Structure 1
């Protein structure tokens, strides 16, 4: 059998050549586009119409931003919390989110997460709350969505902000909302939502939608020919103060940049909007340079006929090609200073980015997310979970697959053995890391104490996050996505099962 495994990567760009043609045309003709305010209003109107579903999420307010970090930084700038105030954050996060909090002279308190649900228990979070706690930030990872209802109840109990980081879990819009709104031609804008919210505020108990916009088949057949009802859509909890979405280069429905913040409170929305309007607008040339860079990387990550011969060269010369690609896909270089990063994120999206964002939402085929999930579930059904191979987030409320992570006992060995079988698995596909590894010598306040105690968080038992650390230390990412044909997935399944079996047998023999 011909080995096609080398032709596919653990990451890909969720975009087509036609989309690249569109964005280059938009940038080239930017002077002919309508005013920025109109571009922003059209983007807000689209989300107001499609994301504010009466059945699953009440009306909210929407703020287009340059990236998720821009929205979070804006929130922190606005509130100007006292120095050393504490923000509880789910332990698996990207380093720049931790740096952002520290830049505002605030303290990050990491909270452990569970591998099977990707969530945090209320009991563990409550132990971390002190009189200095001001907010809880929960990041949904890998496309999985955890039910944060009880965490929000906890935040309400202590009068804390609750923020959801949905950068990795956008999965389209709820179709039932469009069906209901098609019966009415009433336009929804942020301005005329105010009266609706103040007159009748309610929170639906069903947070998830089983039908996605443009999704023809909402049920998935299992190998037993049974129908497994899937929760497809989640656009944040209606009681979260902020819900942040990313449409950066590696995300579903990518616009090669940009993000959006969903805000539940009108006053908070207006204050954030007013502050943001004082920030400079992103230079279109910078967006163009990013798009051009991603266009070149598209050929190296998405096109099998280019990837396969390239991999012969990579393996022959033992080149760390993925490190090269990942570094260029990141919005911020490792060599950039903190001041440079903040100078970059404190900008409003340029007109070309706003227009392309809207075009992506309007033209994107959301069934592609279904295809990706179906192929991921196919692989999961045929992989043999064992001591040396475990799955991530299978008990999450929504199981979409932005990436395909697995937990293995000996990750470096596992990756090397996969490479020998021409499977290009990778350990550093995403920037996700454990907060405890970044936080050292931090001053925090222990529960039931009024004294600030300098603590090395990684060594402090109450703040240790062993489950999150184990996840990040043992996770690898397999090339499982919608671009990979089923016959190639079958090859991958056989190789991964055989390697896991070998490592299990070796572990048993070593104990004898």
Structure 2
């Protein structure tokens, strides 16, 4: 069985992290953080801020901005639930921006409707490895005097630090991201005073427990082994023998912070071993890995067009696109998952994303396209270890699967 995802980290990196947990003390944390931030920003405008996670950085930013209660935050309608929870925690109103399913960029009409005089922040997510053209959003930002945040968690490439005119660009190095350090994030903040404010707030936080980070490294050492084809097949067999839902088990194994502890968990400084491993991952990261992933994604999409042209691929028109994941739309995702499993491929709907609800006072802002798409969304396994024969086999296995024949997908056009 081919697993749904393979972690973008080598055994040597995990061993380095475990060594750092034993030898790098938190007294070295400030020096490591400054070195990492200086390297990240290099000769670009603005400053960098290293955080525990993108969610930590998002919470820091909303603290630093001190927006009046009831201010609106216009958001890409598809995001992770915690980003919405943090907005509400600060007494702000999340407003969804509906997305064009072919590009995953904001729909122009929805963008105009969502951004108004009460908008103080606009946050746009680059999804599935594609990148959104920010020029229309920059124009909307300037029209209302808001700040623009771009969430680049799914769009990391070496040398890319975000759009130069974005006010804040956020990069995540969590467990399933490219160049993962099993945590950590870097923000490029265009306004140096705002960056200083974020650092000052973060300096009051307790430091992440190095022991917990060590346990995380050990956990992913095991998960990496289980993500191999043989290891994953054995895992599924064992779960079936014990009556365990392996899909739920896998989702829980890479789950982030518990909801009832979210804000407390976010408000920690990254520990020194995490900063040391993040520095190693980023400064030594090769573009070859991303080139291989991009090629595999492009090839899979080509094969889907050949063997099952009825399948729709969200974000297919986004350029550039690294194909961090390859999503498809299935009329019945559960049937599609079972069909692929019988062919030897583990796919998942996942539970890490959500659709932003429209404000109660403005139900007409419902992100209809995004919600309709989300109900049928399915992620296919696709990574460099899967050769062409394997990808052909998966595409052929999808022949009996159909995408929903509704207006949303007619508007999408061909895959």
Instruction: Please give the TM-score of this superposition, normalised by the length of structure 1.
Output: 0.75
Partners of 1:248 and 1:488 in 2: CA distance: 28
Partners of 2:404 and 2:242 in 1: CA distance: 27
Kept after mapping to 2: 8 A contact 1:388/1:503: no
Q: Pick from 275, 278, 286: which aligns with 1:357?
A: 278
Within a 5 Å distance, the mapping from 1:68-467 to structure 2 comes to 68-173=54-159, 234-301=160-227, 303-314=228-239, 319-333=244-258, 336-337=259-260, 340-384=261-305, 388-428=310-350, 431-436=352-357, 442=359, 454-455=360-361, 460-461=363-364, 463-467=365-369
Partners of 1:360 and 1:17 in 2: CA distance: 12
Counterpart of 2:344 in 1: which secondary structure?
Answer: coil
Kept after mapping to 2: 8 A contact 1:122/1:154: no
Partners of 1:501 and 1:98 in 2: CA distance: 32
Partners of 2:332 and 2:321 in 1: CA distance: 26
Counterpart of 1:425 in 2: which secondary structure?
Answer: coil
Counterpart of 2:105 in 1: which secondary structure?
Answer: coil
Partner of 1:470: 372
Kept after mapping to 1: 8 A contact 2:117/2:144: no
**Following TM superposition, by how much is the alpha carbon of 1:388 offset from its aligned partner in structure 2, in angstroms?**
4.4
**Following TM superposition, by how much is the alpha carbon of 1:400 offset from its aligned partner in structure 2, in angstroms?**
0.8
Q: 1:121 to 1:140 in 2, by over 3 A?
A: same
Counterpart of 2:8 in 1: which secondary structure?
Answer: coil
Q: Does 1:492 align with 2:394?
A: yes
Kept after mapping to 1: 8 A contact 2:330/2:403: no
**Following TM superposition, by how much is the alpha carbon of 1:415 offset from its aligned partner in structure 2, in angstroms?**
1.6
Partner of 1:38: 31
Partners of 1:75 and 1:126 in 2: CA distance: 24
Equivalenced residue count is: 404
Kept after mapping to 2: 8 A contact 1:387/1:409: no
Partners of 1:10 and 1:307 in 2: CA distance: 10
Q: Does 1:483 align with 2:385?
A: yes
Q: Pick from 16, 19, 22: which aligns with 1:28?
A: 22
Kept after mapping to 2: 8 A contact 1:143/1:169: yes
**Following TM superposition, by how much is the alpha carbon of 1:27 offset from its aligned partner in structure 2, in angstroms?**
0.3
Q: Deviations over 1:136-163 (max 9, x none)?
A: 1111111111111111111011111111
Partners of 1:472 and 1:171 in 2: CA distance: 26
**Following TM superposition, by how much is the alpha carbon of 1:320 offset from its aligned partner in structure 2, in angstroms?**
2.0
Instruction: Please give the TM-score of this superposition, normalised by the length of structure 2.
Output: 0.92
**Following TM superposition, by how much is the alpha carbon of 1:389 offset from its aligned partner in structure 2, in angstroms?**
1.2
Partners of 1:94 and 1:27 in 2: CA distance: 29
Partners of 2:144 and 2:293 in 1: CA distance: 40
**Following TM superposition, by how much is the alpha carbon of 1:365 offset from its aligned partner in structure 2, in angstroms?**
2.4
Partners of 2:341 and 2:231 in 1: CA distance: 18
| Backbone CA RMSD of aligned residues | 2.1
**Following TM superposition, by how much is the alpha carbon of 1:308 offset from its aligned partner in structure 2, in angstroms?**
2.2
Kept after mapping to 2: 8 A contact 1:149/1:237: no
Kept after mapping to 1: 8 A contact 2:331/2:403: no
Partners of 2:119 and 2:27 in 1: CA distance: 44
Q: Deviations over 1:308-335 (max 9, x none)?
A: 23333445666421211111212213xx
Q: Deviations over 1:299-358 (max 9, x none)?
A: 222x2221223333445666421211111212213xx41xx2111111111111111110
Q: Deviations over 1:395-450 (max 9, x none)?
A: 2121111111111222222222222222211111x5111112xx6xx5xxxxxxxx
Q: 1:472 to 1:367 in 2, by over 3 A?
A: same
Q: 1:110 to 1:503 in 2, by over 3 A?
A: closer
Counterpart of 1:376 in 2: which secondary structure?
Answer: helix
Partner of 2:9: 15
Partners of 1:330 and 1:486 in 2: CA distance: 31
**Following TM superposition, by how much is the alpha carbon of 1:14 offset from its aligned partner in structure 2, in angstroms?**
0.6
Partners of 1:130 and 1:376 in 2: CA distance: 38
Give unmatched runs, 5+ long, in structure 2: 406-415
Partners of 1:417 and 1:122 in 2: CA distance: 37
